Amino acid sequence: MPEPRRLLVLRHVPWEGPGLVTTGLQDVPTEDRLVVDEADPELPPAADLAGLVVMGGPMGADDLLEHPGLVAERRILADAVDAEVPVIGICLGMQLLACALGASLHPGHGTEIGLGPVDLLAPDPVLDPLGPRPEVLHWHSDAVDLPAGAALLASSPLTPVQAFRAGSALGLQFHLEVDRSLLGAWLAEPFMQADLAAHGISGMAEAGERVLPSLTPAAIRGLGTFAEAVRARA
């Protein structure tokens, strides 16, 4: 009997894990890797995966010399889309996905940090439960163009491409994976504290307490459709 396919999670810093994305996937074998600084990481063939999740991080999607593992991450993202593997890329992961599909990155396009709304522009099973203009968690300054052939799903005035769908892959510039517990872990990290201080941002915990109790159940429902697709391939 063949071994079940795995869910591969690629993170770029230890504290930015998959959070709500893996709710309901405890029965699927999961490989959680941090390969961003490896020159030639050994990643499995994309077609052998049950699913692929690529998380956020403080580096840029074009920082390929400083973080050579990003080259392999781009490659496996492109291969996963070709193989119709369920994919979610979040923040940096979304930017890597867009670049892997030929779109351009715009470093320093505009800083969005904190809880703020996005406009949902087209139906998608992951985003539909959120409602037409959900308030979500942002933490980025780079932006990407929409990949050719992809469907634009969400936008904000500062960041035109907040979410897109390219076949089996979903890119999210915002952090749908974060609940109150994960946000608390982020806010306890010295790096994240320094980033907030550098941008003069306060009150993140209070905003999370206001928004996340209602957002989290909707996020779990939407992300459950990704979990179903992963389980179908496992």
Q: pLDDT (tens digit, 9 = 90+) per residue, 24-46?
A: 899 999 999 999 999 999 999 99
Domain around 117: 6-233
- 1 inside domain: no
Average confidence (pLDDT) over 36-62: 97
- 174 inside domain: yes
Amino acid at 195: D
Rounded distance between C-alpha atoms, residue 46 and residue 60, angstroms: 23
Rounded distance between C-alpha atoms, residue 90 and residue 55, angstroms: 5
Which residues are catalytic, by number?
A: 91, 175, 177
Residue ranges of alpha helices (H) inside 61-112 are 69-82, 92-100
H or E element in which residue 72 lies: helix 69-82
Q: How many domains does the chain have?
A: 1
Tell me: the pLDDT tens digits for 187-199?
Answer: 999 999 999 999 9
Q: Is the pLDDT reported for residue 1 higher than 70?
A: no
- 119 inside domain: yes
Rounded distance between C-alpha atoms, residue 25 and residue 31, angstroms: 12
- 115 inside domain: yes
Tell me: the pLDDT tens digits for 135-181?
Answer: 999 999 999 999 999 999 999 999 999 999 999 999 999 999 999 99
- Model confidence at 3, pLDDT cuts 50, 70, 90, reads confident
Indicate which CATH number applies to the domain containing 15. 3.40.50.880
Tell me: the pLDDT tens digits for 61-105?
Answer: 999 999 999 999 999 999 999 999 999 999 999 999 999 999 999
pTM of the model: 0.98
